Structure 1
């Protein structure tokens, strides 16, 4: 049977994730990998989850169907958490998702018709592009640090027969660059979104992992100061416990105006009914058991690894290579000399030095950025990070 003719047109927009393929390299002990932007499993609070499991599984509730909005106890905890971030809201403004990746998929499904315009930075999170691609948008470059005129985006969208639906950003320690938007840039983004009358998608997956510097208010909190009511806000805030507790549980959340949450609840009901109740209740219990101390431990541990990588880059990289200076998160972004292609460099690095990273072109919706690369320091021990940077520097020096 020829299945190709039966498939929806959107399948042409679905592409394999370069990062997911590179994660397979982690099983090869001789390879030092800076590829996977994943938390170190040594930092998972396994004992806390074991205690939570013993308590939660004394009842039948975690094994039963539940409401699509998510476990009420967890949403109440998230309500308090968001209030601490300057976002007073109700539980009705919160939807629990199966990781923030599902949140991005739901947002794409809710907002995008084929040909609609999504504003994204260049580079931007590869997983967001994968989630949005299925809904066949066109992309326009979002320049949050410059003086990009909203009229330019409007004209480009209209010329393509569409309109701008949302602007997507990772404002804190961005994946892939590690960079952070300042408060002024966040305010300017809100101004631009207001002029365009589009939504703002705030992907806050790394917000809790700040290692230095002053915390910057979330985009949603800044908008709330303008509107005074979350149900009048255009910003959707996407959070996740994957980077701070355990990614395997797949627990994320969306905070937004109730009319938008109501629509995504309908999507949730048609998709998977609800996120696993057991996982949500486990997270809820662990949050109540020393989570601030666990978070401080994560920050201290990841900060040490970031510092080792930055110092090694300074010590070993040849002239012409530049990199970001992240204040948190898991990533350092390399900009290579213009003539060096990141994908070709990866092939050579694997063959000659057994070192892996993610070529940067995949993070650019327009196919640019061939001379860039993403390095992750989250899973490397200090000695391994130093050795890996030395290996990569040797390859770069040779080319």
Structure 2
């Protein structure tokens, strides 16, 4: 096992470095005052400081379930397991499916790949096309593995989104094979145009749907969840309890209090979408201006922009960029076999407009 390249990068840079590496939300958009208000309110209740139930406080699970139901995915609180960030949810699932074969996209999320390696899951990569995985190859792989991990909305790292047709096809394949889909969905609320229907809504008894407040509210509260059939969730509880008994109670109560005002949360989400869309458009303008040889797809949501240089090793290039105080994640980190390539993942949400322009100019100088 090796540590995450992204976490190592974040630890090795200082405040003067322009970072396009981590999937960091914009700090200026954190609802600080509203979180403060919610925090002060919950401290009047002494049970906030007590041990809690392993699957999460009922009120918060009810609110998450209600959001699913409102979007046409009937869900009860017993379909929700609160986790310590979406990352813990993934670890619990990897431990549950330990040593099995699993079908994943290529490129795929580095954090999930590391968790799968740690739990001895044998990853089978399937090519990710512009509108989702190659269906023919996915079908072939899933017939063998009966287990898949996908990020259909503004995928990390590629920022691609699955078409409605491919969502239908994947749901049909999973259902016909009576397999399991792990659908990771941390970016689904960060759309610029419309929110897509999850694949899991079509196969509720054959899927685990992962969600998180880290990208939409604040990461440090570390609250995520798994949405699944109640019987499937019961299988995970023993693993969850062996890790931490329950996720942070104070964080859960803060979130529960904040989410009582649904209109406020919806406005906050729209503010994020508006800000990120402006940043994404500006990032594209600067790439076209300073790095026209970089080929990419314009994001339609999420936090990342992905593309490639022809004939350039992006891992070698980032070593020079670090010396110039600018960093990104080279694309080879998102593949099962880290063969050098010219692909790059940029995060555009955390930097200012000035940092975006300067950072891209610095990359041009290194190039």
Q: CA deviation at 1:25?
A: 4.8
TM-score normalised according to structure 2 size: 0.94
What is the aligned partner in structure 2 of residue 362 from structure 1? 333
SS in 2 for 1:168: strand
1:166 paired with 2:147, answer: yes
Give matches, 1:173-322, under 5 Å.
173-212=154-193, 214-223=194-203, 230=204, 233-289=205-261, 290-319=264-293, 321-322=294-295
Q: CA deviation at 1:187?
A: 1.3
Larger Rg: 1
How many angstroms apart in 2 are the aligned matches of 1:201 and 1:71? 23
What is the aligned partner in structure 2 of residue 28 from structure 1? 15
CA RMSD of aligned residues (A): 1.7
- Structure 1 residues 171 and 150, CA gap change in structure 2 (3 angstroms): closer
Question: What does the per-residue CA deviation read over 1:213-246, in whole Å, with 9 as the maximum and x for residues that have no partner?
Answer: x3221111233xxxxxx4xx21110000000111
How many angstroms apart in 2 are the aligned matches of 1:221 and 1:47? 35
1:383 to 349, 354, 362: 354
In structure 2, list runs of 5 or more residues that go unmatched.
none
In structure 1, list runs of 5 or more residues that go unmatched.
1-13, 158-163, 224-229
What is the aligned partner in structure 1 of residue 136 from structure 2? 148
Contact 1:123–1:369 (CA under 8 A) maintained in structure 2: no
- Structure 1 residues 317 and 150, CA gap change in structure 2 (3 angstroms): closer
Q: CA deviation at 1:367?
A: 2.3
- Structure 1 residues 151 and 276, CA gap change in structure 2 (3 angstroms): closer
How many angstroms apart in 2 are the aligned matches of 1:64 and 1:196? 44
1:49 paired with 2:35, answer: yes
- Structure 1 residues 154 and 376, CA gap change in structure 2 (3 angstroms): closer
Q: CA deviation at 1:173?
A: 0.8
Moved over 6 A (4+): none
SS in 2 for 1:101: helix
2:87 to 101, 112, 124: 101
Contact 1:112–1:165 (CA under 8 A) maintained in structure 2: no
TM-score normalised according to structure 1 size: 0.87
- Structure 1 residues 347 and 249, CA gap change in structure 2 (3 angstroms): same
